[in-house]
Chain A
Amino acid sequence: MDEKSTEKKIETYNIENSKSQLRKGFLEFSVLLIIGTQPTYAVDILKQLKEANLLVVEGTLYPLLSRLKSQGIVSYSWEESKNGPPRKMYSITKDGKTFLAVLEEYWKSLDSIITIFIKQYEKSN
């Protein structure tokens, strides 16, 4: 009885862990796609990511944005906000666009391979 429940716990823990690994892999790419579409506030990036279930804790976004900025992939400008502190409006840089193009290319190839794997797997079952 006891052993079984601990086993189950480990299982759910592992699933959560794997999911979070996958999310981490997608996060940077997703953020770049959102910013690349149009200049966006951090709050609105968070909103979209949360709706897509790609983000659990909001705090994660800020180190990521800071790193992308220092790598010259995104840049930001300060915008006054009517109620509350000024906000950073993030937009993608020229370098960022080339960077994103490479990622997109790679994602598409990954996607087709994963789709093939999934199809193979589903056929076998």
Chain B
Amino acid sequence: MKKVTSITLGGVVFAIEDDAYEKLSEYLSTIERTFSGNTDYHEIALDIENAIAEKFTQAGKSEKHAVSVQDVEHVIGEMGTAEAVASEDMASHTKHTEEPSKEKGGAGATRERRFYRDTEDVIIAGVASGIARYFDVDPVIVRVLFVISIFFNGFGFFAYIILWLIVPPAVTTAEKYAMRGERVTIEEITEQVKKNIQKIDEKKIGEATRGVWTNIRGFLQNIFTFLGRFVRFFFKIITMIIGLGLLLLGAFGIAGLVSAASVLWLGESAWIRPEFQEVVNVLFANPAGYLFTSAVLITVIIPLLVSIILGSSLISGKNLFTLTKGIILGVVWIAAVTLAITLGIVYQPIRIETDRFLADGIFYVEQSTIHIQGLPRTEALH
């Protein structure tokens, strides 16, 4: 039994076993590094990638028929190792290959490893596995550290949330390569030597501690998978509740406002308390009153609409905001606010009535009444 990942090679999707993936991606990155002295190295690497894709397709590999280590080895055998390819080509490339060390260093910088969230090894959001990829350690260790650090004033929790928000996920193939990419080292040779030594070390240590570590690792992995499921479920519930709250707030808010506004507009006196009646009368004495109330209504309804969209986005798990929606809502809102303010200033009865009622202490209609200094007060205007 083997874990399978899917990759795209030359735009074709293949399922590939994990060990085969490691091998292939190492091969492709060495190819790219070997030709980094060449100005067209990217194109050459792409050509080789396409050729490999074609070979896999011919061998009947696809999304359903996974590529194995043997397949990768076979293809590399036919293609030739990076060294073999480079040496065969040397005759025509002497100038390029004779002074590769400097150029290699320069091009190596573009293959610098970058910090991404690993979308293929996710417990909550792939933060820990991303860190592990970056520092070349086992994700389980990073997860243990996270859990431990939660007990220090919740440091781990906040660090996780912040990293989740800040660090982008590795989505495209290029990003995945960058996530797994070789770190920049000054000299290729030392890197190669180090790699070999590391391999030997890993083998020795691996053999000695394999049994114990595999058991602990497996146990921890299970716990994390379980915890992850729990946390994700918890987050889902919270998002659902918030989403539902926003949705209801928006819906009831709009319903309430619209019915209140229609009562006002229709001037159905039976529905209006006598204290309000006078205000309503004055307000709608002029047609501008209708315009003003509409503008105020729209000003309040748009944030409620946004709340509805936000709520449904959270519930459905899809972003229902589009640029057009945003622009339309924004423009209408700004227009409505401007209109309401302008009318509020220009259209006298609103101010006067508000003032008077505030003075009488009966009730409180508009908090935002604007007093313009030097203007005569109510009595003078009457």
- Among the listed B38, B58, B88, which residue makes an inter-chain contact with A60, where contact means beta carbons less than 8 Å apart? B88
Asked whether any CB of chain A lies closer than 8 Å to the CB of B54, the reply is: yes
Q: Known contacts being A57-B85, A84-B10, A84-B12, is A63 close to B51, with CB within 8 Å?
A: no
Contact B44 A85 (CB under 8 A): no
* Residue of B whose beta carbon sits closest to that of A28: B92
Inter-chain contact B54/A84, CB cutoff 8 Å: yes
> Nearest chain B CB to A116's CB is how many angstroms away?
25
How many whole Å from A77's CB to the nearest CB in chain B? 14
Partner of B57, one of A21, A83, A86: A83
User: Is the beta-carbon distance between A24 and B92 smaller than 8 angstroms?
Assistant: yes
A residues near B79, Cβ cutoff 8 Å? 57-59
Residue of A at shortest CB range from B62? A83
- Does B153 make an interface contact (CB < 8 A)? no
A66 partner, pick from B11, B43, B51, B84, beta carbons under 8 A: B43
* CB-based contact A86/B11 at 8 Å: yes
CB contacts (< 8 Å) of A101 on chain B: these are none
User: Contacts of A63 on B, CB cut-off 8 Å?
Assistant: 35, 38, 44, 85, 89, 93
A59-B83 Cα distance, complex, nearest whole Å: 10
- A43 pairs with B51, CB closer than 8 A: yes
Cα distance A85–B11 in the bound complex, in angstroms: 6
**A2 CB, min distance to chain B CBs, angstroms:** 28
A121: interface (CB < 8 Å): no
Interface string of A56-91 (1 = CB under 8 A from B): 111110111111011000000000010111111000
Q: B-side binding surface: helix, strand, loop or mixed? A: helix
Checking B54, B92, B93 against A85 with a beta-carbon cut-off of 8 angstroms, the contacting residue is B54
Size band of the B side of the interface? 20 to 34
- Contacts between chains A and B (CB distance < 8 A), count: 89
B278: Cβ under 8 A from any A Cβ: no
- Contact for A42 among B51, B57, B58, B84, CB less than 8 A: B51
Partner of A64, one of B9, B81, B92: B92
CA distance in complex: A88, B54 (Å): 12
| A residues in contact with B78, CB < 8 Å | 57-58
Are A62 and B44 neighbours in the complex by a CB distance under 8 Å?
Answer: yes
User: In the complex, which residue of chain B has the Cβ closest to the Cβ of A57?
Assistant: B80
The yes or no answer to A109 lying at the interface (CB within 8 A) is no
**Which residues in B have their C-beta under 8 angstroms from that of A25?**
91
Mask: chain A, 12-46; 1 = CB below 8 Å from B; 0 = not = 00000000110111011000000000000011000
**Cα distance A65–B44 in the bound complex, in angstroms:** 9
Query: CA separation between A41 and B328, bound complex, in Å?
Result: 52
- B89 near A70 with CB under 8 A, answer no
Minimum C-beta distance from A91 to chain B (A): 16
- B48 interface hit (Cβ, 8 Å): yes
Contact (A62, B47) CB under 8 Å given A21-B91, A56-B80, A67-B40? yes
User: Does B239 touch A at the CB level, under 8 Å?
Assistant: no
Q: Is the CB of B80 within 8 A of A60?
A: yes
Chain A residues close to B by CB (< 8 Å): 20-21, 23-25, 27-28, 42-43, 56-60, 62-67, 69-70, 81, 83-88
- List 7 A-B residue pairs with CB atoms under 8 Å apart, sorted by A's residue number: A20-B88, A24-B91, A58-B79, A58-B80, A60-B85, A84-B54, A84-B57
The 5 lowest CB-CB distance pairs between A and B, nearest first, are: A57-B80, A85-B10, A59-B85, A24-B91, A84-B57
